[in-house]
Structure 1
Amino acid sequence: MDDWTQTMGAGPLLGIAAASIALILLLVIRFKMHPFIVLILVSLLTAVVTGLPLSELSDTLVDSFSGTLGSVALLVGLGAMLGSIVESSGGARVLAERLVAVFGEKRAPFALGVASLIMGFPMFFDAGLVVMLPIVFAVARRMGGGNLLLYGLASATALSVMHVFVPPHPGPITAAEIFGADLGLVLLFGLILAMPTWLVSGYAWARFVDRRIPLPVPSLFGLSGDDVQPANPPSAGTVAGIIAVPMVLIFLNTGLSGLSSSGVVDGDATWVQSLTLIGNSPIALLIAVLVAMVVLGFRRGTDGTALERVMDRSLGPICSVILITGAGAMFGGVLRASGIGDALSGTLSAVGLPVIVAAYVIALVLRVAQGSATVALVTAAGLVAPAVAAGGYNGVEIVCIVLATAAGSVFAGHVNDSGFWLVGRLMGMDVKTTLKTWTVQQSIQSLVGFGLASALFGLVQLV
């Protein structure tokens, strides 16, 4: 496609982009079509309408899909396996109970939130919620039984914050891939942003709303005496250490890369290349999974067949997320190849709307309209990526844009979001109560995350 030139003006191209997004929303919301199919179909139609050469159409679609899917599938798949091993070993429960013991019963909501932040690193939101809620219910019953929101929202928000802002979850990984951000920096600043975001939108909000909406603990997971505990669970320190393995290795990779580029260390040295290799995100997660298999599996007497089943069952739920992510990247690839991204970049420059604000607003609108945070994030990233590429931003500024886009993709989860129903049903809330608690929480989380990412972006520009 090197010899092909787009002849349409910015107006028609932006009109096609708006129509494409509207069609995605219509097919997903009104006709209940699966987002994977919708994104492929709309990508194809957009490519044809914008005049991309038909002879190159298939390669454009497949290359955009596979280019993102390769790295995303590895990270998400290995992260899901790590979370499944930790959960099946009883590690999640042990870690939560240990933190409650350390912080004390009066600070149990804080302790459960911290445990969920830790468990939220390797676990997807829905898996982490199912793992943590029985522990939350048991603690809430022990504290009197009428303050579920105090404990439940603090824990659920922590899982949501990690899922939205921190790799190896698909949202930040995909946005980093599309924007060309350093994944180690995304991990570092995502963790820095996660804690204050949780404190405001999770812990503080849970304490506020609990005083206004008393909610009893449901009997969904049985009584506290019915909880099943593995016979020989690992220690809390062991679980925390295993979860820390990939974070430490990825930080090592980022640090050595920075030192190498600045000339402090010799980037061609064997030891530098070796440490950089094991700090590469997929390798780091693979090492963590292998360590978890040995420490939480074989050394505790779990045979290979049982461990294989534990790991295998973690892959089914993530297939849809991975495929939607790849299809969203396909749509973004078409937007870039057709010149729509460049048209948007020029329009943003003319309007004067900062790129970081545009990314947040686009993701927010898509999230509210169709529900899927993944679709909202990858679509917004695909639209804004050319403006980011043309803006000459440094590595930290690009990371801030990634986090701002991720923040927009979580705004105001409501009835078209599967997470809305998951939280509401598991906590025994009706739709009205879920809207008053969880939907508002997601909005606060989005605004706080965007505010922090924007503040960091402005600070970096001043420096």
Structure 2
Amino acid sequence: MIDGWTQTMGALPLLGIAAAAIALILVLVIVFKLHAFLTLILVSLVTAFATGIPAAEIVPTLTSSFGGTLGSVALLVGLGAMLGKLVEHSGGAQALADRLIALFGESRAPLALGVASLLMGFPMFFDAGLVVMLPVIFAVAARLGGPVLRYAIPSAVAFSVMHVFVPPHPGPVTATELYGANLGLVLALGLVVAIPTWYVSGYLWGKVCARQFPFTDADGLFGSIDDDDVKNPPKVSTVLLVLLLPMLLIFMNTGLDFLRAAGKVSKDATWFHVARALGSSPVALLISVLVALAALGFARGEKGTALEKIVDSSLGPICSVVLITGAGGMFGGVLRTSGIGQALSDSMEDIGLPVIVAAWLIAVVLRLAQGSATVALVTAAGLMAPAVAAGSFSSGQVVAITLATAAGSVFGSHVNDSGFWLVGRLLGMDVSTTLRTWTVQQTIESVMGFLASVALFALL
């Protein structure tokens, strides 16, 4: 929010402005084919004026929201693309894809990719994990010649469910603290909710998406590699170590957060902050890129100049992804600053629904209004925490409410969510296709997670 300024519009006109802005984005991008980057900047500007944000604060709001999104996304996607390019160029992605197919068979390759992503998604954030896995996904798709979405959706959804439901990711950890839930129980039951939710909304939905959109262009961000040009490809074990390194470093970081939330580690200790810095996603990926340069480059006889060109070539294709994702964050930032999400959540508090339903529904409204799943989860948990504290709920029921709130926060990813643009552009989908695949998937994931949470609430 802006200091000294209070939104005077009611929830209804604000909701109308938000709906009109979203419709305008879809019309400009789908009908008039205006570039998404230009569209998001234009509509963000118009929305800022329409919602009454002070004129002197409009440009700072746009740039701060854009920069805030880029601060997290650009480093992760840039470093992840470098790592992916090194894995792809060395022949490592193809070697790993061949090994996966040999072990699990062609028919179970999507399942294998999804399970691998679930394991990697335990410590890794959604966007970082997806970018790191992309070269393997594309290599498997190219090797088998099937629809890209058959392999990409199960993997992407695996990272999503782990990020939303399972500590030590920041959203569920913060919600756990706000609700006063037991962190270990949230972790255990979060997995109970996440795994079947992934199977239905990721693995099975991936089959549906592959039938509806059977495009097979698997070059993606990394270009096509002729296997005959790859000399001295790395061992599969080397590729696995390179890909697991960022996961292990990030696991150290998120594991420390888990211990801090459980009261086992003092956050004032110097070693704690040093370890967290080394295990932060950008630093972990930086270390992994440096290791990949040595293990997948110098160790195979590549020279420094050649490696520099290989790494540099990975940045060009992701520029559009990064800029559009930042512009999506700009639009979401304008909606947050305007008070649309807050006005809607305030108007819903007095409806009188059961606490677990109200928590999910408020998170859904916040998610649809401003885009960020983490913001929706944390804000909804903050709003519902007094009601949960005042209720006579068992520890298991409090955990179920926490997971229901998390489920609501992922509902219906669309044009105000930077993740919507990230997934769509990384997988080579246009806006219409992304809406019919990823938006629907996120809705299924949310509803399934909510129903599972309600079932746990009734049992515990």
Against the structure 1 CA distance between its residues 121 and 190, is the aligned structure 2 distance closer, same or farther, given a 3 Å change threshold? farther
Residues in 2 aligned to 1:318 and 1:253: alpha-carbon distance in whole angstroms: 27
Residues in 2 aligned to 1:26 and 1:104: alpha-carbon distance in whole angstroms: 43
Against the structure 1 CA distance between its residues 253 and 323, is the aligned structure 2 distance closer, same or farther, given a 3 Å change threshold? same
Equivalent AA in structure 2 for residue 134 of structure 1: A
Q: Which moved more, 1:153-162 or 1:102-111?
A: 102-111
Against the structure 1 CA distance between its residues 422 and 3, is the aligned structure 2 distance closer, same or farther, given a 3 Å change threshold? closer
Tell me the CA shift for residue 322 of structure 1.
1.7
- For residues 443-454 of structure 1, the aligned pairs below 5 Å read 445-446=441-442, 449-454=445-450
TM-score (norm 2): 0.69
Do 1:341 and 1:384's aligned partners in 2 also have CA atoms closer than 8 Å?
Answer: no
Q: Which residue of 1 aligns with 2:15?
A: 14
Q: Which residue of 1 aligns with 2:418?
A: none
Do 2:78 and 2:318's aligned partners in 1 also have CA atoms closer than 8 Å?
Answer: yes
Residues in 2 aligned to 1:285 and 1:324: alpha-carbon distance in whole angstroms: 22
Q: Which moved more, 1:350-359 or 1:300-309?
A: 350-359
Q: Which residue of 2 aligns with 1:134?
A: 142
Residues in 1 aligned to 2:258 and 2:202: alpha-carbon distance in whole angstroms: 34
1:181-214 per-residue CA deviation (whole Å, 9 max, x = no partner) reads 89xx9x999999876556446655788999x99x
Tell me the CA shift for residue 286 of structure 1.
0.9
Q: Which residue of 1 aligns with 2:317?
A: 317
Residues in 2 aligned to 1:206 and 1:63: alpha-carbon distance in whole angstroms: 36
1:349-373 per-residue CA deviation (whole Å, 9 max, x = no partner) reads 345574545665897xx8xxxxxxx
Do 1:82 and 1:292's aligned partners in 2 also have CA atoms closer than 8 Å?
Answer: yes
Correspondence 1:121 to 2:125: no
Residues in 1 aligned to 2:90 and 2:427: alpha-carbon distance in whole angstroms: 28
Against the structure 1 CA distance between its residues 180 and 333, is the aligned structure 2 distance closer, same or farther, given a 3 Å change threshold? farther
TM-score (norm 1): 0.69
- For residues 14-413 of structure 1, the aligned pairs below 5 Å read 14-103=15-104, 110-111=111-112, 121=129, 123=131, 130-137=138-145, 148=146, 154-162=150-158, 196=196, 199-200=199-200, 227-228=227-228, 230-351=230-351, 352=353, 354=358, 356-357=360-361, 378=371, 387=380, 390-392=383-385, 405-406=409-410, 408-409=412-413
In structure 1, the gaps of 5 or more residues are: 138-147, 168-174, 221-225, 367-375, 412-416, 425-434
Against the structure 1 CA distance between its residues 300 and 193, is the aligned structure 2 distance closer, same or farther, given a 3 Å change threshold? farther
Equivalent AA in structure 2 for residue 136 of structure 1: L
Q: Which moved more, 1:47-56 or 1:253-262?
A: 253-262
Residues in 2 aligned to 1:395 and 1:4: alpha-carbon distance in whole angstroms: 37
Do 1:118 and 1:240's aligned partners in 2 also have CA atoms closer than 8 Å?
Answer: no
Do 1:344 and 1:384's aligned partners in 2 also have CA atoms closer than 8 Å?
Answer: no
Tell me the CA shift for residue 41 of structure 1.
1.5
Partner secondary structure for residue 121 of structure 1: helix
Residues in 2 aligned to 1:384 and 1:113: alpha-carbon distance in whole angstroms: 25
Aligned length: 408
Residues in 2 aligned to 1:454 and 1:308: alpha-carbon distance in whole angstroms: 47
Tell me the CA shift for residue 283 of structure 1.
0.8
Against the structure 1 CA distance between its residues 454 and 318, is the aligned structure 2 distance closer, same or farther, given a 3 Å change threshold? farther
Residues in 2 aligned to 1:108 and 1:123: alpha-carbon distance in whole angstroms: 19
Partner secondary structure for residue 22 of structure 1: helix
Residues in 2 aligned to 1:130 and 1:100: alpha-carbon distance in whole angstroms: 13
Residues in 1 aligned to 2:138 and 2:317: alpha-carbon distance in whole angstroms: 13
Do 1:129 and 1:156's aligned partners in 2 also have CA atoms closer than 8 Å?
Answer: yes
Tell me the CA shift for residue 273 of structure 1.
2.5
Tell me the CA shift for residue 86 of structure 1.
0.8
Tell me the CA shift for residue 314 of structure 1.
1.8
Do 1:329 and 1:382's aligned partners in 2 also have CA atoms closer than 8 Å?
Answer: no
Equivalent AA in structure 2 for residue 95 of structure 1: L
Residues in 2 aligned to 1:420 and 1:123: alpha-carbon distance in whole angstroms: 8
Against the structure 1 CA distance between its residues 104 and 57, is the aligned structure 2 distance closer, same or farther, given a 3 Å change threshold? closer
Residues in 2 aligned to 1:439 and 1:5: alpha-carbon distance in whole angstroms: 34
Equivalent AA in structure 2 for residue 231 of structure 1: K
Residues in 2 aligned to 1:324 and 1:63: alpha-carbon distance in whole angstroms: 15
Against the structure 1 CA distance between its residues 419 and 333, is the aligned structure 2 distance closer, same or farther, given a 3 Å change threshold? closer
| Root-mean-square deviation (Å) | 5.0
Against the structure 1 CA distance between its residues 440 and 81, is the aligned structure 2 distance closer, same or farther, given a 3 Å change threshold? same
Tell me the CA shift for residue 121 of structure 1.
3.4
Against the structure 1 CA distance between its residues 251 and 104, is the aligned structure 2 distance closer, same or farther, given a 3 Å change threshold? same
Do 2:115 and 2:158's aligned partners in 1 also have CA atoms closer than 8 Å?
Answer: no
Tell me the CA shift for residue 156 of structure 1.
3.6
Tell me the CA shift for residue 379 of structure 1.
7.3
Tell me the CA shift for residue 422 of structure 1.
5.6
